[in-house]
């Protein structure tokens, strides 16, 4: 009998130990969930629920005044958006801005990062100067550039006329207004891409450059054979983030030109805002929002496929 009890005691101890470990694991998981729960609630209330509500609004004749919430429209709002010339015009302006600004922001940020990464005096000052505009609010940025663009006393036109050239109507000429928005955006947002490239450059071992110098490589060979290939992952990240950011153009265009002249700089988000809060057509604006979301999603997926396919071929 005593032998049987002795055999049962280790089994009971093992069972109790396993049970204690399970209880401790559950306590740890519940503790972690309790810390995350406030964020999950805020995320659900302020993001998930508005997304669901906005999707529901897109099927109704929903007005900002609260009327039309029970008037089911089906896909009429989506059909109206697809047949709206203003919708396609705003979408075209957004794509035009993206096509112009993205290459400039990628190439220029890489060039400035290469400059700031060189062993030059006051290197910290260059890094600060290149990144500082990024931390400014958009209202301050637009105020600065609005004064620079002003006819007559604006700095840019003062410099142009000093050389004997005619003034440029930076904000009122339909052929120049979009370029003006691009210039403001490049100056304002360049710092983010610059910082990503600078971090990537600092991860490249100096021994690689020293070995290349011993083999007789010049500066251009080091740039295109070492630096650019080793920054491939950083470049893919920068391009993807920049395209998504450019497609979300709104504040600088709305504050600088108000979408003018003749709606030549009105981006998609500004047209959605005007439809919802100026024309009070929340349902129609919601439908355009989801159509634009699909466009951004498709562009992002295409980017991922194209860029990572090229990367995979390069690694073969």
Model pLDDT for residues 53-96, shown as the tens digit of each residue: 999 999 999 998 888 888 899 999 999 999 999 999 999 999 99
SS3 at position 281: strand
pLDDT band at 6 (very low <50, low <70, confident <90, very high): very low
pLDDT tens-digit profile of 260-287? 899 999 999 999 999 999 999 999 999 9
Q: Which residue has the higher pLDDT, 258 or 33?
A: 258
* 69, 62 contact by CB (below 8 A): yes
**Cα distance between residue 195 and residue 311, in whole Å:** 22
State yes or no: pLDDT of 206 exceeds 50: yes
Which H helix or E strand runs over 21? helix 2-43
Phi, psi torsion values for 204, nearest 5 degrees: -80, 125
Compute CA distances 174 → 164, 168, 171, 271, whole Å: 23, 11, 8, 18
CATH code for the structural domain at 84-315:
1.10.3720.10
* Best CA proximity match to 148, nearest among 98, 184, 110, 174: 184
* 201, 114 contact by CB (below 8 A): yes
Compute CA distances 107 → 59, 79, 167, 233, 292, whole Å: 43, 39, 29, 15, 27
Burial of residue 21, with CB atoms counted within 10 A of its CB: 0-12 exposed, 13-18 middle, 19 or more buried: exposed
Compute CA distances 218 → 211, 221, 224, whole Å: 12, 5, 10
State yes or no: pLDDT of 134 exceeds 70: yes
Compute CA distances 111 → 107, 189, 195, 197, 275, whole Å: 6, 15, 12, 9, 41
Question: Going by C-beta distance under 8 Å and a sequence separation of 6 or more, which residues neighbour residue 95?
Answer: 247
No. of helices (H) and no. of strands (E), the chain: 15, 0
**What pLDDT, on the 0 to 100 scale, is given for residue 156?**
93
Q: Which residue has the higher pLDDT, 152 or 196?
A: 196
């Amino acid at each position: 009998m005593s032998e049987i009890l002795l055999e049962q005691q280790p089994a009971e101890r093992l069972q109790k130990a396993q049970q204690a470990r399970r209880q401790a694991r559950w306590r740890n998981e519940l503790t972690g969930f309790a810390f995350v729960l406030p964020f999950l609630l805020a995320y659900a209330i302020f993001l998930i629920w508005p997304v669901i509500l906005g999707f529901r609004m897109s099927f109704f004749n929903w007005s900002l005044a609260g009327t039309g919430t029970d008037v089911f429209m089906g896909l009429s709002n989506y059909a109206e958006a697809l047949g709206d010339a203003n919708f396609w015009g705003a979408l075209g302006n957004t794509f035009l801005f993206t096509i112009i600004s993205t290459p400039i922001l990628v190439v220029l940020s890489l060039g400035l990062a290469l400059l700031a990464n060189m062993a030059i005096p006051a290197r910290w000052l260059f890094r600060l100067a290149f990144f500082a505009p990024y931390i400014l609010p958009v209202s301050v940025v637009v105020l600065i550039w609005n004064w620079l663009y002003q006819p007559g006393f604006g700095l840019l036109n003062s410099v142009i006329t000093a050389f004997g050239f005619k003034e440029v109507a930076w904000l009122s000429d339909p052929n120049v207004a979009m370029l003006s928005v691009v210039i403001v955006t490049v100056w304002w947002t360049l710092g983010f891409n610059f910082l990503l490239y600078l971090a990537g450059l600092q991860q490249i071992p100096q021994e690689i450059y020293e070995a290349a110098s011993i083999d007789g490589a010049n500066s251009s060979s080091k740039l295109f054979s070492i630096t650019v290939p080793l920054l491939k992952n950083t470049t893919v990240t920068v391009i993807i983030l920049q395209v998504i950011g450019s497609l979300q153009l709104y504040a600088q265009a709305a504050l600088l030109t108000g979408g003018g002249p003749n709606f030549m700089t009105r981006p998609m988000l500004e047209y959605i805002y005007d439809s919802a809060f100026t024309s009070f057509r929340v349902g129609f604006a919601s439908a355009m929002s989801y159509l634009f979301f699909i466009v951004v999603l498709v562009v992002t997926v295409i980017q991922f496929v194209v860029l990572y396919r090229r990367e995979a071929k390069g690694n073969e």
